[in-house]
Amino acid sequence: MQYLINITRAILEGSLVTVKLFFMTLVFSIPLGLLVALIRVSNQKLVKYITDVYIWLARGTPLLLQIFFVYYGLPSFGIVLDRFPAAIFAFILNYTAYFAEIFRAGIQSIDKGQYEGADVLGMTYWQTMLRIILPQMTKRVLPPVSNEVITLVKDTALVNAIGLVDLLRAANIAVVRDFNILPFGIAAVFYLLMTLVLTRIFGKLEQKFALHE
């Protein structure tokens, strides 16, 4: 029993790194993704081209490779980041691209008549987006955003590749040290609980928006 308590405590400490990485990625990547999406559907050709290239690179290469590049590659250019900031930076860059594509698809799914009506009323591009398009887009993108957020929980395990003691690495250390696979089972429970909570939250949000249709 004492062994179970000890390894659970160690894994819980690792899960704090996982949770911090998860929330910091969301806090930055969702608004940045929305901004990139708005740029992509605008008429600003140069900035639109730059964001297109960025999304192509971020979505076309593995997240693990991006983590390696930020942590091991950027020092070649004189930019040295500690493990956790490097992981945060890589995750934000990656997930901003995915959220941007989700939001872009949501924006472009809104009927063109909505834009024309706003134009007749004399609303600017940004007023049209903020008051008319984005509120409608939000309920349409909830399911894909939910899937991406749950994927993020599992992707956080990739940071153990650069030595961060997250939830999975804490479990792996205990397994290697004690020759016991129980820590992996406990880690699985932690991941399942986090995804269960997120699934319930997004389920409630989808129900709420459905009631207002």
Q: Does CATH place domain 2-211 in 1.10.3720.10?
A: yes
The string of pLDDT tens digits covering residues 105-139 is 998 888 877 777 777 777 877 788 888 888 888 88
Percent of the chain at pLDDT exceeding 90: 56
The string of pLDDT tens digits covering residues 36-92 is 998 888 878 888 899 999 999 999 999 999 999 999 999 999 999 999 999 999 999
The string of pLDDT tens digits covering residues 101-113 is 999 999 888 887 7
Burial class of 39 by CB neighbour count within 10 A (0 to 12, 13 to 18, 19+): middle
pLDDT at 157 over 90: yes
Residue spans of the domains in the chain: they are 2-211
pTM given for the model: 0.91
Query: CA-based angle 170:174:176, to the nearest 5?
Result: 115
Per-residue tokens: 105 = 């698809």
